[in-house]
Amino acid sequence: DGGITQSPKYLFRKEGQNVTLSCEQNLNHDAMYWYRQDPGQGLRLIYYSQIVNDFQKGDIAEGYSVSREKKESFPLTVTSAQKNPTAFYLCASSIVRTGAEAFFGQGTRLTVV
């Protein structure tokens, strides 16, 4: 089945730790995205990549980093510099480079303990 797989589903982080969220897609989409969702809020764009080995900052990139070494994979690292990392993180991909017709993964819920 084609789709987007995010792992893990739940992640706990201690203060000062970096953690990496995985996102893999087998839809052959060029573009991939990371969004952050806070309770009762809309989705805010963290980073996006329109092609392998290239990525751009979104609206809230501070404290996050990404890489795009393979077309299928777009991991997100939440660094210790992110002051309030507890949130629901969503990965998406689209064949259109502006995010139109984006398909989303099932999300990773990150909690700082």
Partner 1 sequence: QQQVKQSPQSLIVQKGGISIINCAYENTAFDYFPWYQQFPGKGPALLIAIRPDVSEKKEGRFTISFNKSAKQFSLHIMDSQPGDSATYFCAAAGNAGNMLTFGGGTRLMVKP
Q: Which is nearer to partner 1, 47 or 85 (CB)?
A: 47
52 contact partners, CB below 8 Å, separation of at least 6 = 68, 69, 70, 71
Report how many helices (DSSP H) and strands (DSSP E) the chain contains, helices first: 0, 11
* # of chain residues touching partner 1 (CB under 8 A): 27
Query: Taking contact as CB under 8 A, which single stretch among the options 11-19, 60-68, 71-79, 101-109 is the one that binds partner 1?
Result: 101-109
* Alpha-carbon gap, residue 20 to 33, rounded angstroms: 15
Query: Taking contact as CB under 8 A, which single stretch among the options 14-22, 42-50, 62-70, 71-79 is the one that binds partner 1?
Result: 42-50
* Alpha-carbon gap, residue 40 to 73, rounded angstroms: 28
* Residue ranges in contact with partner 1 by CB under 8 A: 4, 6, 33, 35, 40-45, 48, 58, 90, 92, 94, 96, 98-107, 109
